[in-house]
Amino acid sequence: MFRLACVSVGVLLLVGALVAASSAPLHFSLMDAQGKTHSSDELQNHQATVLVFVATDCPNANTYAPLLARMYREYSARGVLFLAVYSDPDDTAAKVQKHDAEYQIAYPGLLDPTQTLARQTGARSTPEAVILAPDGQELYRGRVDDRFMDYGKTRFQPAHQDLRDALDQILRGEPVKNPTTRVLGCAIPGVN
Could you read off the pLDDT of 10-69 as tens digits, one per residue?
A: 333 333 333 333 467 888 999 999 999 999 999 999 999 999 999 999 999 999 999 999
With respect to residue 153, please indicate whether it lies within any of the assigned structural domains.
yes
Q: DSSP class of residue 28?
A: -
Task: Give mean pLDDT, residues 86-109.
Answer: 95
Closest by alpha carbon to 190, among 96, 91, 126, 115? 115
| Residue 111 φ/ψ, nearest 5 degrees | -90, 120
136 in the Ramachandran plot: left (φ > 0), alpha (ψ -120 to 50) or beta? left
pTM attached to this predicted model? 0.85
Domain around 135: 26-187
55 in the Ramachandran plot: left (φ > 0), alpha (ψ -120 to 50) or beta? beta
With respect to residue 74, please indicate whether it lies within any of the assigned structural domains.
yes
Which amino acid appears at position 86 of this protein?
Y
| Residue 110 φ/ψ, nearest 5 degrees | -80, 140
With respect to residue 165, please indicate whether it lies within any of the assigned structural domains.
yes
With respect to residue 168, please indicate whether it lies within any of the assigned structural domains.
yes
Residue 85: CATH number of its domain? 3.40.30.10
Task: Give mean pLDDT, residues 106-118.
Answer: 95
What are the tens digits of pLDDT across the range 165-179?
999 999 999 999 999
With respect to residue 19, please indicate whether it lies within any of the assigned structural domains.
no
- Report pLDDT for 184: 87
Q: What confidence category does residue 192 fall into, taking pLDDT thresholds of 50, 70 and 90?
A: low
Question: Which residue would you say has higher pLDDT here, 85 or 157?
Answer: 85
Omega before residue 127 within 30° of 0, cis: yes
With respect to residue 113, please indicate whether it lies within any of the assigned structural domains.
yes
Q: At what angle do helices 162-171 and 65-76 cross, to 10 degrees?
A: 10
Which amino acid appears at position 135 of this protein?
D
With respect to residue 9, please indicate whether it lies within any of the assigned structural domains.
no
- Report pLDDT for 23: 60
Distance, CA of 175 to CA of 55 (rounded, Å): 29
- Report pLDDT for 172: 96
Burial label, 166 (beta-carbon count in 10 A; 0-12, 13-18, 19+): buried
With respect to residue 7, please indicate whether it lies within any of the assigned structural domains.
no
Per the structure, the count of domains in the chain is: 1
Q: What confidence category does residue 113 fall into, taking pLDDT thresholds of 50, 70 and 90?
A: very high
